[in-house]
């Protein structure tokens, strides 16, 4: 088995993360086994999709009881979690940064936000759920000291690139970017954009495309989805 680990696609990783959370909730409810179609329903995907993903993780269920929840969770843990744990940092302690920091605290055994950074000196020294806020100028030092490879960027768009540069320079290899800006990073750095503006416009667009209910006699804004161009 000298074969190198085939890297799993981003979509599969995302679903595995979701499955894991759903499985934990099932386990907490006392369930021991689960069928692909059950997990699929909870995740909002098809049963075949779930089974394909099981192929990707290399876990086999049995036709008789489906998947053993505990085993499957272990299997997913083995793929998604760093064996020795990972440290993360967050830059920007506005409302958004605080929300994420609070939400993340203690949520993962193998991944912790261990440092926060902000430009505002008034925030430096604050401690949120055990995570200390440092001056943003200290990014290079702290990131190196704590061996931080994962960062969350929650600063205004105008500062995002600058922040990303210093993070990357300090050794960060993955960035979760909430700033409404596209970051330029070297090809070995993974960036995931959480662009609220884009997503909201998308939702607004598809909300308008929603089929008009037949029963409603007086739907009033019939013209609105007429296409442009």
Partner DNA sequence: GCCTGTGAAGCTATTCACAGCT
Partner DNA sequence: AGCTGTGAATAGCTTCACAGGC
CB of 36 to DNA, least distance (A): 4
The one of DNA, a copy of itself, none whose footprint includes residue 66, by CB under 5 to 8 A per kind, is DNA
With CB under 8 A as the contact rule, the residue among 54, 100, 124, 139 that binds a copy of itself is 100
The three-state secondary structure class of 90 is: strand
CA-closest candidate to residue 177, choices 158, 160, 159, 202: 160
- Show Cβ contacts of residue 64 under 8 Å, excluding neighbours closer than 6 positions: none
CA-closest candidate to residue 25, choices 61, 66, 64, 73: 73
**Distance, CA of 70 to CA of 174 (rounded, Å):** 29
CB of 150 to DNA, least distance (A): 21
Residue numbers 32-71 binding a copy of itself by CB under 8 A: 42-45, 57-59
Considering beta carbons, is residue 33 or 146 the nearer one to DNA? 33
H or E segment and range at residue 111: strand 111-118
With CB under 8 A as the contact rule, the residue among 28, 29, 62, 213 that binds a copy of itself is 213
Alpha carbon of residue 135 to chain centroid: 25
**Distance, CA of 87 to CA of 110 (rounded, Å):** 8
- Does 70 bind DNA (CB under 7 A)? Our answer is no
**Distance, CA of 17 to CA of 21 (rounded, Å):** 7
- Does 27 bind a copy of itself (CB under 8 A)? Our answer is no
The one of a copy of itself, DNA, none whose footprint includes residue 48, by CB under 5 to 8 A per kind, is DNA
Give the chain's largest Cα–Cα span. 67
Q: What is the contact mask toward DNA in residues 9 to 48, using x (rule: CB under 7 A)?
A: xxxx----------------------xxx-------xxxx
- Show Cβ contacts of residue 106 under 8 Å, excluding neighbours closer than 6 positions: 112, 129
- Does 7 bind DNA (CB under 7 A)? Our answer is no
Residue length of the chain: 229
Q: What is the contact mask toward DNA in residues 50 to 69, using x (rule: CB under 7 A)?
A: -xx-xx---xxxxxx-xx--
Considering beta carbons, is residue 64 or 197 the nearer one to DNA? 64
Q: Which residues bind DNA (CB under 7 A)?
A: 9-12, 35-37, 45-49, 51-52, 54-55, 59-64, 66-67, 220, 222
């Amino acid at each position: 088995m000298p074969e190198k680990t085939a890297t799993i696609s981003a979509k599969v990783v995302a679903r595995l993360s979701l499955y894991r959370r759903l499985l934990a909730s099932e386990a907490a409810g006392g369930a021991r086994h689960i069928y692909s179609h059950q997990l699929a329903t909870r995740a909002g995907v098809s049963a075949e999709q779930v089974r394909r993903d099981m192929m990707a993780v290399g876990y086999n269920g049995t036709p008789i009881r489906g998947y053993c929840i505990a085993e499957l969770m272990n299997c997913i843990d083995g793929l998604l979690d760093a064996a020795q744990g990972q440290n993360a940092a967050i830059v920007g302690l506005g409302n958004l940064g605080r929300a994420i920091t609070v939400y993340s605290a203690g949520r993962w055994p193998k991944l912790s936000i261990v440092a926060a950074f902000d430009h505002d000196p008034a925030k430096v020294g604050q401690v949120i759920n055990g995570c200390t806020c440092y001056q943003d100028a200290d990014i290079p030092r702290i990131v190196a000291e704590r061996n931080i490879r994962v960062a969350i960027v929650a600063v205004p768009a105008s500062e995002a690139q600058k922040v990303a540069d210093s993070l990357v320079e300090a050794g960060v290899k993955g960035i979760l970017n909430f700033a409404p800006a596209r970051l330029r990073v070297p090809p070995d750095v993974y960036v995931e954009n959480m662009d609220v503006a884009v997503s909201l416009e998308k939702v607004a667009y598809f909300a308008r495309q929603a089929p008009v209910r037949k029963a409603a006699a007086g739907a009033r804004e019939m013209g609105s989805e007429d296409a442009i161009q």
